[in-house]
Structure 1
Protein backbone atom coordinates (compact mmCIF):
# COMPACT_ATOMS: atom_id res chain seq x y z
CA UNK A 1 0.00 0.00 0.00
CA UNK A 2 2.82 2.43 0.89
CA UNK A 3 4.48 1.97 -2.50
CA UNK A 4 1.29 2.82 -4.37
CA UNK A 5 0.38 5.73 -2.11
CA UNK A 6 3.71 7.52 -2.49
CA UNK A 7 3.69 7.02 -6.26
CA UNK A 8 0.25 8.63 -6.30
CA UNK A 9 1.45 11.57 -4.20
CA UNK A 10 4.30 12.29 -6.61
CA UNK A 11 2.08 12.11 -9.68
CA UNK A 12 -0.56 14.37 -8.17
CA UNK A 13 1.95 16.95 -6.89
CA UNK A 14 3.59 16.99 -10.30
CA UNK A 15 0.25 17.47 -12.04
CA UNK A 16 -0.68 20.32 -9.71
CA UNK A 17 2.57 22.27 -9.29
CA UNK A 18 5.13 21.17 -11.89
CA UNK A 19 3.62 20.16 -15.20
CA UNK A 20 1.48 23.29 -15.69
CA UNK A 21 4.67 25.37 -15.52
CA UNK A 22 6.74 23.28 -17.92
CA UNK A 23 7.70 25.66 -20.74
CA UNK A 24 5.37 28.21 -19.14
CA UNK A 25 7.41 29.73 -16.29
CA UNK A 26 6.54 33.37 -15.77
CA UNK A 27 8.96 36.17 -15.07
CA UNK A 28 10.06 36.00 -11.47
CA UNK A 29 9.30 32.27 -11.09
CA UNK A 30 12.98 31.30 -11.54
CA UNK A 31 15.46 32.34 -8.84
CA UNK A 32 19.14 31.70 -8.16
CA UNK A 33 19.53 30.00 -4.76
CA UNK A 34 23.32 29.58 -5.09
CA UNK A 35 25.91 30.38 -7.79
CA UNK A 36 24.96 28.24 -10.77
CA UNK A 37 21.97 26.72 -8.94
CA UNK A 38 18.40 27.73 -9.78
CA UNK A 39 15.09 27.08 -8.06
CA UNK A 40 11.58 27.67 -9.35
CA UNK A 41 8.16 28.23 -7.88
CA UNK A 42 7.36 24.72 -9.10
CA UNK A 43 10.14 23.22 -6.94
CA UNK A 44 8.90 24.95 -3.82
CA UNK A 45 5.21 24.33 -4.32
CA UNK A 46 5.69 20.67 -5.24
CA UNK A 47 7.93 20.09 -2.22
CA UNK A 48 5.35 21.63 0.11
CA UNK A 49 2.60 19.40 -1.28
CA UNK A 50 4.70 16.24 -1.21
CA UNK A 51 6.09 16.92 2.26
CA UNK A 52 2.67 17.50 3.78
CA UNK A 53 1.18 14.37 2.26
CA UNK A 54 4.16 12.16 3.14
CA UNK A 55 3.95 13.27 6.78
CA UNK A 56 0.27 12.33 6.74
CA UNK A 57 1.20 8.92 5.42
CA UNK A 58 4.08 8.36 7.85
CA UNK A 59 4.76 11.09 10.46
CA UNK A 60 8.56 11.26 10.35
CA UNK A 61 10.84 14.19 9.37
CA UNK A 62 10.93 15.23 5.71
CA UNK A 63 14.32 16.19 4.30
CA UNK A 64 13.44 18.19 1.19
CA UNK A 65 16.00 19.78 -1.10
CA UNK A 66 14.46 23.24 -0.87
CA UNK A 67 13.80 23.03 2.88
CA UNK A 68 17.45 22.13 3.45
CA UNK A 69 18.55 25.04 1.27
CA UNK A 70 16.75 27.30 3.77
CA UNK A 71 17.82 25.37 6.90
CA UNK A 72 20.77 22.97 6.38
CA UNK A 73 20.33 21.48 9.87
CA UNK A 74 17.22 19.65 8.66
CA UNK A 75 19.40 17.17 6.79
CA UNK A 76 20.72 15.79 10.11
CA UNK A 77 17.49 13.81 10.39
CA UNK A 78 18.99 11.32 7.92
CA UNK A 79 21.45 10.18 10.59
CA UNK A 80 19.81 11.26 13.84
CA UNK A 81 16.29 9.88 13.31
CA UNK A 82 15.14 6.29 12.99
CA UNK A 83 13.26 7.16 9.82
CA UNK A 84 13.01 10.13 7.43
CA UNK A 85 11.57 10.98 4.04
CA UNK A 86 13.79 12.43 1.31
CA UNK A 87 12.21 14.62 -1.37
CA UNK A 88 13.54 16.10 -4.61
CA UNK A 89 10.53 17.98 -6.02
CA UNK A 90 12.10 18.73 -9.42
CA UNK A 91 15.29 16.82 -10.13
CA UNK A 92 16.95 18.43 -13.11
CA UNK A 93 15.66 21.94 -12.44
CA UNK A 94 18.00 23.46 -15.03
CA UNK A 95 16.52 21.17 -17.68
CA UNK A 96 13.02 22.09 -16.52
CA UNK A 97 13.79 25.81 -16.77
CA UNK A 98 15.29 25.34 -20.23
CA UNK A 99 12.18 23.52 -21.43
CA UNK A 100 14.03 20.21 -21.73
CA UNK A 101 12.00 17.11 -20.80
CA UNK A 102 14.73 15.44 -18.74
CA UNK A 103 13.48 16.10 -15.21
CA UNK A 104 11.86 13.98 -12.52
CA UNK A 105 9.98 14.14 -9.24
CA UNK A 106 11.53 11.86 -6.59
CA UNK A 107 11.17 10.62 -3.05
CA UNK A 108 12.65 7.92 -0.86
CA UNK A 109 12.23 6.52 2.62
CA UNK A 110 15.32 6.16 4.80
CA UNK A 111 15.39 3.94 7.89
CA UNK A 112 18.41 3.73 10.19
CA UNK A 113 20.54 5.47 7.58
CA UNK A 114 19.59 3.15 4.73
CA UNK A 115 17.25 3.69 1.79
CA UNK A 116 14.43 1.14 2.06
CA UNK A 117 12.02 2.42 -0.61
CA UNK A 118 12.23 4.88 -3.48
CA UNK A 119 10.10 6.45 -6.19
CA UNK A 120 10.93 8.31 -9.43
CA UNK A 121 8.24 9.95 -11.59
CA UNK A 122 9.24 11.22 -15.02
CA UNK A 123 6.36 13.57 -15.95
CA UNK A 124 7.05 14.16 -19.63
CA UNK A 125 7.62 10.48 -20.40
CA UNK A 126 4.79 9.49 -18.06
CA UNK A 127 6.93 6.71 -16.58
CA UNK A 128 7.11 5.69 -12.92
CA UNK A 129 9.96 3.76 -11.28
CA UNK A 130 9.90 2.30 -7.79
CA UNK A 131 12.13 0.08 -5.67
CA UNK A 132 11.83 -1.60 -2.30
CA UNK A 133 14.80 -2.97 -0.37
CA UNK A 134 14.96 -6.74 -0.77
CA UNK A 135 11.83 -6.90 -2.91
CA UNK A 136 12.91 -5.59 -6.32
CA UNK A 137 12.49 -2.69 -8.70
CA UNK A 138 9.69 -1.82 -11.11
CA UNK A 139 8.87 0.38 -14.07
CA UNK A 140 5.16 1.11 -14.36
CA UNK A 141 4.46 -1.91 -12.17
CA UNK A 142 6.58 -4.32 -14.22
CA UNK A 143 9.54 -5.90 -12.45
CA UNK A 144 12.91 -4.80 -13.81
CA UNK A 145 15.74 -7.18 -14.63
CA UNK A 146 18.75 -6.55 -16.80
CA UNK A 147 21.47 -8.70 -18.33
CA UNK A 148 25.11 -8.40 -17.33
CA UNK A 149 27.15 -6.01 -19.48
CA UNK A 150 29.47 -7.35 -22.15
CA UNK A 151 32.74 -8.53 -20.60
CA UNK A 152 34.83 -6.25 -22.83
CA UNK A 153 35.34 -2.74 -21.35
CA UNK A 154 35.51 -1.24 -24.82
CA UNK A 155 31.83 -2.15 -25.22
CA UNK A 156 30.64 -0.52 -22.00
CA UNK A 157 28.30 2.45 -22.29
CA UNK A 158 28.50 4.99 -19.51
CA UNK A 159 28.18 8.47 -18.08
CA UNK A 160 31.04 10.44 -16.57
CA UNK A 161 29.95 13.45 -14.51
CA UNK A 162 32.76 16.01 -14.43
CA UNK A 163 31.18 19.29 -13.27
CA UNK A 164 32.44 19.14 -9.67
CA UNK A 165 35.84 17.56 -10.33
CA UNK A 166 39.08 19.40 -9.62
CA UNK A 167 41.24 19.83 -12.76
CA UNK A 168 43.74 17.06 -11.92
CA UNK A 169 41.04 14.49 -11.18
CA UNK A 170 39.08 15.56 -14.24
CA UNK A 171 42.12 15.00 -16.48
CA UNK A 172 42.95 11.62 -14.91
CA UNK A 173 39.42 10.26 -15.23
CA UNK A 174 38.99 11.49 -18.79
CA UNK A 175 42.30 9.90 -19.74
CA UNK A 176 41.49 6.60 -18.05
CA UNK A 177 38.04 6.47 -19.65
CA UNK A 178 39.49 6.38 -23.16
CA UNK A 179 39.65 2.59 -23.07
CA UNK A 180 35.94 2.28 -22.42
CA UNK A 181 33.08 2.34 -24.91
CA UNK A 182 30.70 5.22 -25.48
CA UNK A 183 31.01 7.67 -22.57
CA UNK A 184 28.84 10.78 -22.39
CA UNK A 185 28.22 13.68 -20.01
CA UNK A 186 24.77 12.29 -19.18
CA UNK A 187 21.33 13.85 -19.05
CA UNK A 188 21.88 16.27 -16.13
CA UNK A 189 19.21 14.70 -13.92
CA UNK A 190 19.83 11.73 -11.64
CA UNK A 191 16.16 10.74 -11.91
CA UNK A 192 16.69 10.22 -15.64
CA UNK A 193 20.19 8.71 -15.47
CA UNK A 194 19.83 6.01 -12.79
CA UNK A 195 16.94 4.32 -14.63
CA UNK A 196 19.20 4.05 -17.68
CA UNK A 197 21.40 1.64 -15.71
CA UNK A 198 18.42 -0.31 -14.38
CA UNK A 199 16.98 -0.73 -17.89
CA UNK A 200 20.20 -1.72 -19.71
CA UNK A 201 20.63 1.54 -21.62
CA UNK A 202 23.96 2.35 -19.99
CA UNK A 203 26.32 0.16 -17.96
CA UNK A 204 27.83 2.64 -15.52
CA UNK A 205 27.82 6.17 -14.13
CA UNK A 206 30.52 7.99 -12.18
CA UNK A 207 29.15 10.81 -10.04
CA UNK A 208 31.20 13.16 -7.89
CA UNK A 209 28.90 15.33 -5.76
CA UNK A 210 26.29 13.15 -4.09
CA UNK A 211 23.50 15.14 -2.48
CA UNK A 212 21.14 12.66 -0.82
CA UNK A 213 17.89 13.69 -2.54
CA UNK A 214 19.60 13.20 -5.91
CA UNK A 215 21.05 9.75 -5.22
CA UNK A 216 18.98 7.92 -2.63
CA UNK A 217 16.13 7.00 -5.03
CA UNK A 218 18.27 5.86 -7.94
CA UNK A 219 20.83 3.88 -5.99
CA UNK A 220 18.12 1.63 -4.58
CA UNK A 221 16.62 1.21 -8.05
CA UNK A 222 19.98 0.06 -9.41
CA UNK A 223 20.95 -2.22 -6.53
CA UNK A 224 17.54 -3.91 -6.65
CA UNK A 225 18.28 -4.86 -10.29
CA UNK A 226 21.61 -6.42 -9.31
CA UNK A 227 23.83 -3.36 -9.65
CA UNK A 228 26.40 -1.82 -7.32
CA UNK A 229 26.49 1.78 -6.04
CA UNK A 230 29.57 2.40 -3.93
CA UNK A 231 32.23 4.93 -3.06
CA UNK A 232 35.55 4.51 -4.81
CA UNK A 233 36.96 2.83 -1.69
CA UNK A 234 34.26 0.17 -1.98
CA UNK A 235 32.02 1.51 0.80
CA UNK A 236 28.35 1.01 -0.11
CA UNK A 237 26.36 4.20 -0.67
CA UNK A 238 24.13 5.43 2.14
CA UNK A 239 22.24 8.75 2.11
CA UNK A 240 23.81 11.30 4.41
CA UNK A 241 23.71 15.08 4.88
CA UNK A 242 25.51 17.27 2.34
CA UNK A 243 29.21 17.66 3.00
CA UNK A 244 30.04 13.96 3.12
CA UNK A 245 32.47 12.08 0.88
CA UNK A 246 32.62 12.73 -2.86
CA UNK A 247 32.65 10.12 -5.59
CA UNK A 248 30.10 7.43 -6.37
CA UNK A 249 30.58 4.68 -8.94
CA UNK A 250 27.39 3.04 -10.20
CA UNK A 251 27.62 -0.13 -12.27
CA UNK A 252 25.26 -2.79 -13.57
CA UNK A 253 26.87 -5.67 -11.67
CA UNK A 254 29.69 -6.35 -9.17
CA UNK A 255 32.23 -7.57 -11.73
CA UNK A 256 31.78 -4.51 -13.92
CA UNK A 257 32.06 -2.26 -10.85
CA UNK A 258 35.40 -3.79 -9.82
CA UNK A 259 36.83 -3.55 -13.32
CA UNK A 260 35.66 0.03 -13.69
CA UNK A 261 37.17 1.13 -10.42
CA UNK A 262 40.51 -0.39 -11.43
CA UNK A 263 40.37 1.23 -14.86
CA UNK A 264 39.27 4.69 -13.77
CA UNK A 265 41.44 5.13 -10.66
CA UNK A 266 44.74 3.71 -11.91
Structure 2
Protein backbone atom coordinates (compact mmCIF):
# COMPACT_ATOMS: atom_id res chain seq x y z
CA UNK A 1 0.00 0.00 0.00
CA UNK A 2 2.79 2.43 0.88
CA UNK A 3 4.70 1.76 -2.33
CA UNK A 4 1.78 2.70 -4.59
CA UNK A 5 1.15 5.82 -2.50
CA UNK A 6 4.78 6.77 -3.12
CA UNK A 7 4.40 6.18 -6.86
CA UNK A 8 1.40 8.54 -7.01
CA UNK A 9 3.12 11.25 -4.97
CA UNK A 10 6.26 11.07 -7.08
CA UNK A 11 4.44 11.00 -10.43
CA UNK A 12 2.31 13.93 -9.35
CA UNK A 13 5.35 15.91 -8.25
CA UNK A 14 7.14 15.18 -11.54
CA UNK A 15 4.42 15.48 -14.18
CA UNK A 16 1.34 17.14 -12.71
CA UNK A 17 2.02 19.73 -10.01
CA UNK A 18 4.62 21.74 -11.98
CA UNK A 19 1.96 22.33 -14.65
CA UNK A 20 -0.81 23.43 -12.30
CA UNK A 21 -1.73 26.97 -13.39
CA UNK A 22 1.25 26.80 -15.77
CA UNK A 23 -0.03 24.89 -18.81
CA UNK A 24 1.49 26.18 -22.01
CA UNK A 25 -0.29 26.69 -25.31
CA UNK A 26 -0.75 23.34 -26.99
CA UNK A 27 -0.64 21.35 -23.71
CA UNK A 28 -4.44 21.11 -23.48
CA UNK A 29 -6.28 19.04 -26.10
CA UNK A 30 -9.88 17.95 -26.64
CA UNK A 31 -10.10 14.16 -26.69
CA UNK A 32 -13.90 14.03 -26.99
CA UNK A 33 -16.63 16.67 -27.25
CA UNK A 34 -16.61 18.57 -23.96
CA UNK A 35 -13.72 16.56 -22.52
CA UNK A 36 -10.13 17.74 -22.34
CA UNK A 37 -6.81 16.05 -21.74
CA UNK A 38 -3.46 17.64 -20.94
CA UNK A 39 0.16 16.74 -21.29
CA UNK A 40 0.13 16.23 -17.50
CA UNK A 41 -2.50 13.46 -17.82
CA UNK A 42 -0.49 11.63 -20.45
CA UNK A 43 2.92 11.95 -18.85
CA UNK A 44 1.66 11.02 -15.38
CA UNK A 45 -0.12 7.95 -16.73
CA UNK A 46 3.04 6.79 -18.50
CA UNK A 47 5.09 7.13 -15.31
CA UNK A 48 2.49 5.49 -13.08
CA UNK A 49 1.81 2.61 -15.48
CA UNK A 50 5.50 1.75 -15.84
CA UNK A 51 6.10 1.73 -12.11
CA UNK A 52 2.95 -0.24 -11.32
CA UNK A 53 3.99 -2.95 -13.78
CA UNK A 54 7.34 -3.15 -12.01
CA UNK A 55 5.49 -3.64 -8.74
CA UNK A 56 2.95 -6.16 -10.05
CA UNK A 57 3.17 -7.20 -13.73
CA UNK A 58 -0.50 -7.24 -14.69
CA UNK A 59 -2.35 -5.16 -17.33
CA UNK A 60 -2.73 -1.44 -16.67
CA UNK A 61 -6.09 0.04 -17.66
CA UNK A 62 -5.35 3.74 -17.84
CA UNK A 63 -7.88 6.38 -18.80
CA UNK A 64 -5.70 7.87 -21.52
CA UNK A 65 -4.55 4.51 -22.87
CA UNK A 66 -8.17 3.40 -23.17
CA UNK A 67 -9.04 6.64 -24.97
CA UNK A 68 -6.52 5.58 -27.62
CA UNK A 69 -7.43 1.87 -27.60
CA UNK A 70 -10.83 1.07 -25.97
CA UNK A 71 -10.17 -2.69 -26.12
CA UNK A 72 -7.66 -2.34 -23.29
CA UNK A 73 -10.53 -1.94 -20.82
CA UNK A 74 -11.61 -5.54 -21.43
CA UNK A 75 -8.76 -6.63 -19.13
CA UNK A 76 -11.11 -5.82 -16.25
CA UNK A 77 -13.18 -8.82 -17.36
CA UNK A 78 -10.67 -11.10 -19.02
CA UNK A 79 -7.70 -10.92 -16.65
CA UNK A 80 -7.48 -12.18 -13.05
CA UNK A 81 -5.92 -8.86 -11.98
CA UNK A 82 -5.48 -5.38 -13.43
CA UNK A 83 -4.44 -1.92 -12.37
CA UNK A 84 -6.78 1.02 -12.99
CA UNK A 85 -5.21 4.47 -13.39
CA UNK A 86 -6.73 7.95 -13.51
CA UNK A 87 -3.65 10.17 -13.86
CA UNK A 88 -5.51 13.47 -13.36
CA UNK A 89 -9.05 13.12 -12.10
CA UNK A 90 -10.86 16.42 -12.49
CA UNK A 91 -8.91 17.52 -15.55
CA UNK A 92 -11.31 20.39 -16.26
CA UNK A 93 -10.65 21.74 -12.76
CA UNK A 94 -6.92 21.32 -13.29
CA UNK A 95 -7.03 23.22 -16.58
CA UNK A 96 -9.09 26.00 -14.99
CA UNK A 97 -6.59 26.37 -12.15
CA UNK A 98 -8.93 24.98 -9.50
CA UNK A 99 -7.29 22.76 -6.87
CA UNK A 100 -10.03 20.11 -6.86
CA UNK A 101 -8.19 17.38 -8.74
CA UNK A 102 -6.61 14.05 -7.81
CA UNK A 103 -4.34 11.24 -8.99
CA UNK A 104 -5.88 7.79 -8.52
CA UNK A 105 -5.07 4.09 -8.78
CA UNK A 106 -7.01 0.91 -8.01
CA UNK A 107 -6.13 -2.77 -8.05
CA UNK A 108 -8.87 -5.04 -9.38
CA UNK A 109 -8.85 -8.80 -8.80
CA UNK A 110 -11.49 -11.13 -10.25
CA UNK A 111 -13.75 -8.19 -10.99
CA UNK A 112 -13.58 -6.63 -7.52
CA UNK A 113 -11.65 -3.60 -6.34
CA UNK A 114 -9.33 -4.86 -3.62
CA UNK A 115 -7.17 -1.77 -3.02
CA UNK A 116 -7.30 1.90 -3.93
CA UNK A 117 -5.27 5.08 -3.64
CA UNK A 118 -6.36 8.72 -4.05
CA UNK A 119 -3.78 11.50 -3.95
CA UNK A 120 -4.98 15.10 -3.68
CA UNK A 121 -1.92 17.15 -4.70
CA UNK A 122 -3.28 20.53 -3.60
CA UNK A 123 -3.25 19.43 0.04
CA UNK A 124 -0.67 16.61 -0.21
CA UNK A 125 -3.35 14.27 1.19
CA UNK A 126 -3.46 10.56 0.40
CA UNK A 127 -6.48 8.32 0.93
CA UNK A 128 -6.09 4.55 0.80
CA UNK A 129 -8.43 1.61 1.19
CA UNK A 130 -7.97 -2.14 1.21
CA UNK A 131 -10.82 -4.61 0.94
CA UNK A 132 -11.63 -5.89 4.42
CA UNK A 133 -8.95 -3.77 6.09
CA UNK A 134 -10.49 -0.29 6.24
CA UNK A 135 -10.12 3.20 4.80
CA UNK A 136 -7.39 5.65 5.72
CA UNK A 137 -6.34 9.28 5.29
CA UNK A 138 -2.60 9.76 5.71
CA UNK A 139 -2.48 6.81 8.09
CA UNK A 140 -5.53 7.80 10.14
CA UNK A 141 -8.47 5.42 9.95
CA UNK A 142 -11.72 6.79 8.55
CA UNK A 143 -15.08 5.76 9.99
CA UNK A 144 -18.12 7.38 8.48
CA UNK A 145 -20.84 8.24 11.01
CA UNK A 146 -24.44 7.79 9.80
CA UNK A 147 -26.23 10.78 8.30
CA UNK A 148 -28.99 12.55 10.22
CA UNK A 149 -32.35 10.79 10.26
CA UNK A 150 -34.12 13.69 8.51
CA UNK A 151 -33.39 13.97 4.75
CA UNK A 152 -34.06 17.70 5.04
CA UNK A 153 -30.74 17.89 6.86
CA UNK A 154 -28.75 15.99 4.24
CA UNK A 155 -26.21 17.51 1.91
CA UNK A 156 -25.99 15.72 -1.41
CA UNK A 157 -25.05 15.96 -5.07
CA UNK A 158 -26.78 14.84 -8.25
CA UNK A 159 -24.64 14.48 -11.37
CA UNK A 160 -27.30 15.01 -14.02
CA UNK A 161 -25.20 15.65 -17.14
CA UNK A 162 -25.62 12.17 -18.60
CA UNK A 163 -29.23 11.57 -17.55
CA UNK A 164 -31.90 11.42 -20.22
CA UNK A 165 -34.20 14.48 -20.11
CA UNK A 166 -37.23 12.72 -18.60
CA UNK A 167 -35.22 11.08 -15.83
CA UNK A 168 -33.37 14.33 -15.17
CA UNK A 169 -36.63 16.22 -14.69
CA UNK A 170 -37.96 13.56 -12.32
CA UNK A 171 -34.85 13.36 -10.17
CA UNK A 172 -34.26 17.10 -10.04
CA UNK A 173 -37.88 17.66 -8.95
CA UNK A 174 -37.41 15.15 -6.12
CA UNK A 175 -34.29 16.83 -4.76
CA UNK A 176 -36.43 19.41 -2.96
CA UNK A 177 -36.77 16.84 -0.16
CA UNK A 178 -33.13 17.32 0.79
CA UNK A 179 -31.45 20.08 2.74
CA UNK A 180 -28.83 21.04 0.17
CA UNK A 181 -28.16 19.77 -3.33
CA UNK A 182 -25.14 20.71 -5.42
CA UNK A 183 -23.79 19.64 -8.79
CA UNK A 184 -20.71 18.21 -7.08
CA UNK A 185 -17.07 19.22 -7.19
CA UNK A 186 -16.37 17.83 -10.67
CA UNK A 187 -13.77 15.32 -9.50
CA UNK A 188 -14.56 11.89 -8.09
CA UNK A 189 -11.25 11.96 -6.23
CA UNK A 190 -12.58 14.89 -4.21
CA UNK A 191 -16.24 13.84 -3.96
CA UNK A 192 -15.74 10.32 -2.59
CA UNK A 193 -13.45 11.45 0.24
CA UNK A 194 -16.05 14.12 1.07
CA UNK A 195 -18.58 11.34 1.71
CA UNK A 196 -16.09 9.21 3.65
CA UNK A 197 -15.24 12.17 5.90
CA UNK A 198 -18.78 13.45 6.41
CA UNK A 199 -18.82 16.61 4.29
CA UNK A 200 -21.48 15.09 2.01
CA UNK A 201 -24.20 12.53 2.77
CA UNK A 202 -24.91 11.12 -0.69
CA UNK A 203 -24.13 11.56 -4.36
CA UNK A 204 -25.84 10.18 -7.44
CA UNK A 205 -23.70 9.45 -10.50
CA UNK A 206 -24.95 8.23 -13.87
CA UNK A 207 -21.98 7.53 -16.13
CA UNK A 208 -19.52 5.39 -14.18
CA UNK A 209 -16.15 5.09 -15.88
CA UNK A 210 -14.13 2.56 -13.87
CA UNK A 211 -11.04 4.69 -13.20
CA UNK A 212 -13.32 7.39 -11.74
CA UNK A 213 -15.32 5.18 -9.39
CA UNK A 214 -13.31 2.14 -8.35
CA UNK A 215 -10.98 4.06 -5.99
CA UNK A 216 -13.61 6.09 -4.17
CA UNK A 217 -16.20 3.34 -3.99
CA UNK A 218 -13.81 1.16 -2.03
CA UNK A 219 -12.81 4.09 0.19
CA UNK A 220 -16.44 4.84 1.07
CA UNK A 221 -17.49 1.24 1.66
CA UNK A 222 -14.45 0.50 3.80
CA UNK A 223 -15.29 3.61 5.85
CA UNK A 224 -18.78 2.23 6.48
CA UNK A 225 -20.74 3.78 3.61
CA UNK A 226 -22.47 2.28 0.60
CA UNK A 227 -21.70 2.43 -3.14
CA UNK A 228 -24.30 0.49 -5.09
CA UNK A 229 -26.17 0.40 -8.36
CA UNK A 230 -29.76 1.58 -8.24
CA UNK A 231 -30.99 -2.02 -7.99
CA UNK A 232 -28.97 -2.41 -4.79
CA UNK A 233 -26.14 -4.50 -6.25
CA UNK A 234 -22.66 -3.53 -5.04
CA UNK A 235 -20.52 -1.47 -7.40
CA UNK A 236 -17.95 -3.43 -9.39
CA UNK A 237 -15.66 -1.84 -12.00
CA UNK A 238 -16.46 -2.68 -15.60
CA UNK A 239 -15.40 -1.39 -19.02
CA UNK A 240 -17.00 1.85 -20.23
CA UNK A 241 -20.45 1.46 -21.72
CA UNK A 242 -21.72 -0.96 -19.08
CA UNK A 243 -24.18 -0.42 -16.26
CA UNK A 244 -25.29 3.15 -15.62
CA UNK A 245 -26.32 4.73 -12.35
CA UNK A 246 -24.48 4.64 -9.02
CA UNK A 247 -25.67 5.95 -5.67
CA UNK A 248 -23.08 6.51 -2.95
CA UNK A 249 -24.18 7.28 0.60
CA UNK A 250 -23.01 7.59 4.17
CA UNK A 251 -24.71 4.42 5.43
CA UNK A 252 -27.23 1.75 4.34
CA UNK A 253 -30.29 3.58 5.71
CA UNK A 254 -29.33 6.81 3.98
CA UNK A 255 -28.66 4.95 0.74
CA UNK A 256 -32.09 3.28 0.70
CA UNK A 257 -33.95 6.44 1.70
CA UNK A 258 -32.10 8.59 -0.85
CA UNK A 259 -32.84 6.10 -3.66
CA UNK A 260 -36.54 5.98 -2.79
CA UNK A 261 -36.81 9.76 -2.73
CA UNK A 262 -34.80 10.40 -5.89
CA UNK A 263 -36.62 7.80 -7.99
CA UNK A 264 -40.16 8.40 -6.68
CA UNK A 265 -42.71 8.97 -9.48
TM over 0.5: yes
In structure 2, distance between residues paired with 1:71 and 1:227: 34
What residue in structure 2 maps to residue 232 of structure 1?
230
For 1:38, what is the secondary structure of its paired residue? strand
- 1:183 corresponds to which of 177, 181, 184: 181
Separation in structure 1 between the aligned mates of residue 262 and residue 158 of structure 2, nearest angstrom: 10
Distance apart, 1:163 and its partner CA: 1.0
Q: For residue 64 of structure 1, what is the aligned residue in structure 2?
A: 62
Counterpart Cα distance in 2 of 1:199 and 1:212: 22
- Quote the Cα distance in structure 2 between the aligned partners of 1:12 and 1:138: 19
Q: Does 1:172 align with 2:167?
A: no
1:76 is the counterpart of 2:89? no
Distance in 1, matches of 2:14 and 2:187, equals: 21
CA distance in 2, matches of 1:173, 1:247: 12
Q: Look up the SS of the partner of 2:88 in the other structure.
A: strand
After the TM superposition, which parts of structure 1 deviate over 3 Å for at least 4 consecutive aligned residues? none
Distance 1:182 1:96 in 2: 26
When the two chains are superposed, the root-mean-square deviation of aligned CA atoms in Å is 0.5
Question: Do structure 1's residue 123 and structure 2's residue 132 form an aligned pair?
Answer: no
Tell me how far 1:53 sits from its aligned partner: 0.1
Give 2:19's aligned residue: 21
Separation in structure 2 between the aligned mates of residue 160 and residue 125 of structure 1, nearest angstrom: 25
Map 1:1-266 → 2, pairs under 5 A: 3-266=1-264
Write the distance in 2 (CA, Å) between the matches of 1:10 and 1:39.
Answer: 18
Shift of 1:167: 1.1
- Separation in 2, partners of 1:245, 1:143: 31
Would you say the 8 A contact 2:195–2:249 is kept in 1? Answer: yes
CA deviation digits over 1:125-160, x for unaligned, max 9? Answer: 111100000000000110001211100111111111
TM-score by length of 2: 0.99
Q: How many matched pairs?
A: 264
Quote the Cα distance in structure 2 between the aligned partners of 1:45 and 1:68: 15
TM-score (norm 1): 0.99
Q: Is the 8 A contact 2:189 2:212 kept in 1?
A: yes
Secondary structure of 1:163's counterpart equals coil
1:181 Cα deviation after fit = 1.1
Secondary structure in structure 1 of the residue aligned to 2:98 = coil
Structure 2 residue runs without a partner (length 5+): none
